[in-house]
Amino acid sequence: MIVVADTTPLQYLILIQYEHILPALYGRVVVPPAVIAELTRDETPLAVREWLASAPGWLEVRRPREVGLSSVPLGAGELEAIAFDLRIAVDRLRRTNFRANEELFQWLLAREKPKSDR
């Protein structure tokens, strides 16, 4: 199984030295370039930046396809993580503790429909 991660959970798992649970649970972890950018900023804790400098093989950086979410009030890492596959992301987000307005979920799903279905 593959999981797409944004900045916060990855950063905190690294800080508490529990990042090893990710490959045990999911095999591979995919992160978009915006997450890497956020994790390498000067204000990011040194332990996280050092970990990332020698990131393990189970961490894969992949650019998502463009989906035009710039007007959604989320950070770059969250936007790129969601953009990997909106339909799967919405379904999974609804089953987690990710808090978002239902209108946001509906808007995301509407953007993903083929033109013939609109």
pLDDT by residue (tens digit) across 25-34? 988 888 888 8
pTM, entire model: 0.59
14 falls in which pLDDT band (50, 70, 90)?
A: very high
Give 52-60 contacts, CB < 8 A, sequence gap 24+: 56/23, 58/22, 58/23, 58/27, 58/28, 58/29, 59/28, 59/29, 59/31, 60/28, 60/29, 60/30, 60/31
What's the pLDDT tens digit per position in 41-58? Answer: 999 999 999 999 999 999
